[in-house]
Amino acid sequence: MEDRYLHEVAITGIIVKDKTYLITKRSANKKRFPNMWTVPGGKLETQDYMHLPKESNDYWYNVLEKVLRREIMEEVGIHIKNIIYVTSLATIHKDGNPSLVLSCMADYDSGDITLKKDENDDFCWVTVEEAKEYNLIDGIYDELVMAENMRTVQKSEWKRYN
């Protein structure tokens, strides 16, 4: 019997630097969306939090933010900051696996782009207008527009205030 509550959870980052956005070209060997342009990100793994101390009595906080930082570092070699939520999407892939993807925006913090070659073949910093010229995965352009519209919002992550 299928577990209707079991989903692959992923998070993606629309990285902002000098009013441009980082897009990456997925490697030809990727089973999902090979050779298409997207924004970097990856999947949540239980090891991303299970062995860490909890920030409150019962919960780990900023789990997805930590996953996004890890994935961005692994895939493109840079540090990010000021992560905020943009949107979410759900899909059932051709292999039958259901996925929930949370799309966030973050500011570039430091580092030089170093691509993980089994993940990405190329990268580019683009404006929203320039992004139209790339073979983006459907919906990514719209997310870039949303991010562009949100850029003046005050950004923060959960933390204790007492």
Joined together, the tokens standing for residue 65 give 């933010």
- The DSSP call for residue 32 is S
Rounded Cα–Cα distance for residues 88 and 85 (Å): 8
Q: For 63-98, how does the pLDDT look when each residue is reduced to its tens digit (9 = 90+)?
A: 999 999 999 999 999 999 999 999 999 998 888 888
pLDDT at 162: 44
Rounded Cα–Cα distance for residues 77 and 42 (Å): 14
Domains and CATH numbers, the chain: 8-150 (3.90.79.10)
pLDDT at 161: 55
Run of H or E residues at 71:
helix 63-76
Rounded Cα–Cα distance for residues 84 and 150 (Å): 10
Q: For 7-27, how does the pLDDT look when each residue is reduced to its tens digit (9 = 90+)?
A: 889 999 999 999 999 999 998
Contact 22, 39 (CB under 8 A): yes
Close Cβ partners of 3 (under 8 Å, ≥ 6 residues apart)? none
SS3 call for 96: coil
Least-confidence region, from 30-44, 67-81, 97-111: 30-44
φ, ψ dihedrals at 27, nearest 5°: -60, 155
Q: For 133-145, how does the pLDDT look when each residue is reduced to its tens digit (9 = 90+)?
A: 999 999 999 999 8
